[in-house]
Amino acid sequence: MGESEVLKLNDYCFEMILSQLSMEGQISFAQTCQRFRGVFMGWSRREFASVWIVGEVLAVELRLLSEVAMSVKKLNIYCNDLDSCFDSQYPNRSRNILIKNFCRLIQSMRNLQLVKIWQGNRHSTSISKHVLRILKDSSQLRQLHICTLMTPSTRNYMTAAKTQAAPCQCSSISWLARGPRTTLLSLSVKGQICAVHEAESLASIKSLEVLDCNFSNPDCVLLLTGLSSLRALRITYLQQIDISSAYLYLIRQCRELRFLRIFDYNINPDFVREGLRSATDVEAKKPLKLLIHGRHNSSTLREFTSMAEDKKNIIFRSLTATELFTLI
């Protein structure tokens, strides 16, 4: 088949060829001519809408990712694996230059809507903090999930996220809150938020509609009442102090709240009664689904069970091991 005949193939045939090529071949295909480039971009919008940077990350994978950047809508980054990639694939390159190049790659993903970041050790902190810094300017980003090691205090990690150009004591969440276009709708933070200033930064992201967070300081919980657009809140608080009053205040103040999941060892039947009363006060404007997880003795369990039997809008059941792992 001659060159002219090859160019007469339809897009479906070219995409079949693309799917059989190696990553090096796919890169070469995209760079061959304008016709091939157009086919490549249409193919990449389906094949690379969701990208995982995980496991043994090769240099050629990052090069291919730069070719399909405009097609990426969901990005999942395991910072530890990316850190290992820099060590093995680029042993003679400056770490700072590699991180900056990776951040430029993310900036070229103009249609990015969801980002999930996992950091399993402190050695990869420099990658995660730089990624968070550039994400604050992403106008299309709608969801951000951050998972870090749970330590007695995340202050050290959060402080590490401050910029070198403008040294100020603020958390990585602060970078999102201070962006010029605050459009973030959903945020999931896996790891305890300990300091009040960290919670204040979180509460300043007024566009948030969905939030999943874990606090170790009771003063932080009340700060969430400033999130007036909040529709769904999943909150974990596994400390000894009873903050039932703070939860009740949240229910009353967050008028758009439709779903509240609480994982707290101090929850008791009295709180459930008060929570139902608070929910009823604003029921005319919106329904509220209240989901509570806790740890109880036999007497409180009996009281919960009795309450569930008396009230039709209460469902009482035990928690499976799988569900427990998703909460922690």
Specify whether 249 is located in the same domain as 110. Answer: yes
pLDDT at 150: 45
pLDDT at 319: 63
Specify whether 24 is located in the same domain as 55. Answer: no
Specify whether 124 is located in the same domain as 8. Answer: no
pLDDT at 169: 30
Domain that holds residue 5: 1-47
Specify whether 4 is located in the same domain as 127. Answer: no
pLDDT at 44: 93
The amino acid occupying position 277 is R
Specify whether 31 is located in the same domain as 75. Answer: no
One DSSP character per residue, 102-152 reads HHHHHHT-TT--EEEEE--SGGGHHHHHHHHHHHTT-SS--EEEEE----S
pLDDT at 252: 85
Rounded to two decimals, the pTM is: 0.57
Specify whether 227 is located in the same domain as 174. Answer: yes
pLDDT at 166: 29
The amino acid occupying position 233 is L
Specify whether 33 is located in the same domain as 118. Answer: no
Domain count, the chain: 2
The sign of the CA dihedral 153, 158, 160, 166 is negative
Beta bridge partners of 186: 143, 210
Contacts 24+ apart (CB under 8 A), 288-292: 288/251, 288/257, 288/258, 288/259, 288/260, 289/258, 289/259, 289/260, 290/251, 290/260, 290/262, 291/259, 291/260, 291/261, 291/262, 292/261, 292/262, 292/264, 292/267
pLDDT at 265: 79
pLDDT at 123: 56
Specify whether 6 is located in the same domain as 63. Answer: no
Specify whether 148 is located in the same domain as 23. Answer: no
Specify whether 183 is located in the same domain as 307. Answer: yes
CATH number of the CATH domain containing 60: 3.80.10.10
How confident is the chain (328 residues) per 10-residue block, as mean pLDDT? 64 87 92 89 93 86 93 92 85 86 92 87 70 81 75 38 31 55 75 81 87 87 90 89 87 87 80 70 64 72 70 61 62
Specify whether 280 is located in the same domain as 149. Answer: yes
Specify whether 17 is located in the same domain as 86. Answer: no
